[in-house]
Structure 1
Amino acid sequence: MPPRLSDRCTLRRSITKRRHLRPFLYLSFSFLLSLLFLHLTSLLLRRANSLGRRCYPPSPPISFPQLKIAIVTISDESKQSEIYYPGGWKRRSFVGMREAVWGNKRRYAERMGYDFVDATELVDPSRPPNWSKILAVRSCLRVYDWVFWNDADTVITNLDVALETILFGLIGYGDVKLTPDLVVTEDLNGVNSGVFFMRKSDWSERFLQKWWDQTSFIQFGSTKSGDNAALRHLIDSLPDEESQLHILISPMQCLCNSYPWFPSLKSLYRLLISPQKTWQGVYSDGDFIVHLAGLDDKRGWALKLLQEV
């Protein structure tokens, strides 16, 4: 006996409903799978060092040269340092970072015998605050053999790593006067000015002045103040011989400028287009310092990291 008309209609509606649900189920499954992948990737990258990554060059068992080193930073928590989305929603701010991380950096400096220099008074209000790192470093080069610059949104996460271990592991143990003058790291976008070493020398003084003079790169009201772009331009413009003599780019970003990795589409995109760069720069347990570059809730991130130290 053939099915009744009402039964056939009910069957068609059921089939149609299942067909409509199928794309939704596929999307839901894909979304959950993506979340799981991002979470597992985050856990894997956080264990990069225990999985065999080596951030520090091997250091021979000899004593370090006696050098006078300063850890220099600034913190501008004025309205000028805040970045807003269109519509007035605050995106990025350094407010609270001074209170959050200054104690961390002072403790490290005291432990290792370095001077901690808060050069906030040198901030030039005519430019975005990041540009004043040039003034801060220049003021200390007249007094110290090496200056270790670190942006306000950095946290020292391994208090047992000496700056000399980083420096001499890279530049060697020869004549200090013949070593490079600028030691930097690079990320996916190139050289990063958030953390670097600079040696006391005439070349360093001239280079800092040229960097300061790159006024065409100054940007207001943007997440990029222009100082980083200016530094990249200067380095790219140097003759090869001068660049090789005075500038050293660490082969491993995690040496002294690690970035935290967290699940997001932006993080996933960067991982997919450059897995090697991500691996070389991602923050892992045991790294010396974390740079909260590009993150909005800087104070929240800093407090979370400090709880783990």
Structure 2
Amino acid sequence: MLIRSCRIPPLLLLLILFLALLGWQLSQGTAHEEGPVGSEVVPLGEGGVPAPRIAIMTFVTDQRSYLHLSLKNKDHYARRHGYDLIVDYESHTERSVVYWKFDMVDRLVKTGKYDWLWWLDFDTLITNTDTKVTDIIEEELRNMTNPDQIDHLVTHDCNGFNGGSFIVRAHPRSLKFFRDSMDISDKAKAKDIQMSEQDAMAKLMKDDKESASRVHVVEQWKLNAFPQEIACYDETRKGWEHGTFVLHFAGAWAHVKGEDPTGQLMKKYENDIMWGDWKEFY
């Protein structure tokens, strides 16, 4: 019997080798440059202690003349210090839109990703991005006898509590404060009394001693400064000046004439923002 040698065409041989190599790669699973889940680098503070995990919260549900500036400013600050910026663009609360901040707090606390949440109204500018909000938290709690029991850092203006800038400990214990505030609002609504979220929070702090004991009042200029055009200051009587941390144009419509009072003030004070060097964190 004559046996002929079997000769494989070169192209077919290359195809077989390619398929064999592809099969081997697929059998190894997907490769990742990142480390395993949970291996992310945790920023360290002074003394090698993990830095507090911070989320800055705000929302905007309609078009504004200062939309870009407000978002850019908060995003820039968050990038500079390694914080998260959480912005909602829709509100789905059955209450007034201002109550949506309560839903945001509830949602972010339940993630377990943060130590503190900093709420900022959209009509604000962080005018000194050098300042770390964690330094303010540490400074305010340092000399308190019960710092671990303080869940809320708030400010007042000339009318009392102002909810434009406040800090919440991201702990399940904090959520009771906002649930109780909503209960106050619901009871008022049952009597045909419309109450803002700020008024509900203020009433809770006034009427409930236990809730009030978990609140620390920060001097207004440190966390929620008003410009000279809106001279509604707390008892320190200190308004915004160049180098101050945060500028809030609260109720600009009642103090500044024009079709766009807040936008006008935003534009006026934009050049006073201390941005820092974007090359260090972009």
Question: Normalising by structure 2, what TM-score?
Answer: 0.68
1:157-168 counterparts in 2 under 5 A? 157-168=127-138
The answer to whether residue 216 in structure 2 is matched with residue 248 in structure 1 is yes
* Gaps in structure 1 of 5+ consecutive residues: 1-60, 79-94, 219-223
Aligned mate of 1:208, from 164, 170, 178:
178
1:76-155 counterparts in 2 under 5 A? 76-77=61-62, 95-121=64-90, 123-124=91-92, 126-142=94-110, 143-155=113-125
Counterpart position of 2:280:
none
Distance 1:63 1:183, change over 3 A: farther
1: CA distance between counterparts of 2:134 and 2:170?
15
Counterpart position of 2:235:
277
Identity percentage of aligned residues = 26
User: SS of 1:198's equivalent?
Assistant: strand
2: CA distance between counterparts of 1:63 and 1:191?
36
2: CA distance between counterparts of 1:132 and 1:105?
19
Aligned mate of 1:306, from 261, 270, 279:
270
1: CA distance between counterparts of 2:252 and 2:187?
26
Structure 1 segments of 4+ aligned residues over 6 angstroms from their partners: 61-64, 173-177
Q: CA deviation at 1:118?
A: 0.5
Tell me which of the two structures has the higher relative contact order, counting C-alpha pairs closer than 8 angstroms and 6 or more residues apart: 1
Q: CA deviation at 1:193?
A: 0.8
Q: CA deviation at 1:74?
A: 0.3
Q: CA deviation at 1:178?
A: 1.4
Amino acid at match of 1:97: Y
Question: Quick check: 2:141–2:147 contact (8 Å CA) kept in 1?
Answer: no
Question: Quick check: 1:97–1:152 contact (8 Å CA) kept in 2?
Answer: no
2: CA distance between counterparts of 1:298 and 1:217?
30
* Gaps in structure 2 of 5+ consecutive residues: 1-45, 254-260, 274-282
Aligned mate of 2:140, from 159, 170, 188:
170
Root-mean-square deviation (CA, aligned residues, Å) is 2.8
Question: Quick check: 1:100–1:299 contact (8 Å CA) kept in 2?
Answer: no
2: CA distance between counterparts of 1:164 and 1:62?
15
User: SS of 1:285's equivalent?
Assistant: coil
Cα deviation digits, residues 231-261 of structure 1 (max 9, x gap): 100111112x5522x11011x2101100111
Aligned mate of 2:51, from 66, 72, 78:
66
2: CA distance between counterparts of 1:256 and 1:170?
11
2: CA distance between counterparts of 1:176 and 1:140?
24
Question: Quick check: 1:260–1:291 contact (8 Å CA) kept in 2?
Answer: yes
Counterpart position of 2:245:
288
Decide which structure has greater helix share. Answer: 1
Distance 1:277 1:64, change over 3 A: farther
Q: CA deviation at 1:127?
A: 3.3
Q: CA deviation at 1:116?
A: 0.6
Q: CA deviation at 1:302?
A: 1.2
2: CA distance between counterparts of 1:243 and 1:125?
26
Aligned mate of 1:187, from 118, 135, 157:
157
Q: CA deviation at 1:135?
A: 1.0
Question: Quick check: 2:78–2:84 contact (8 Å CA) kept in 1?
Answer: yes
The structure whose Rg is larger is: 2
User: SS of 2:107's equivalent?
Assistant: helix
Aligned mate of 1:258, from 203, 218, 225:
225
2: CA distance between counterparts of 1:124 and 1:176?
36
2: CA distance between counterparts of 1:76 and 1:179?
34
Question: Normalising by structure 1, what TM-score?
Answer: 0.62
User: SS of 2:235's equivalent?
Assistant: helix
The answer to whether residue 207 in structure 2 is matched with residue 226 in structure 1 is no
Is 64-73 or 106-115 further displaced after alignment?
64-73
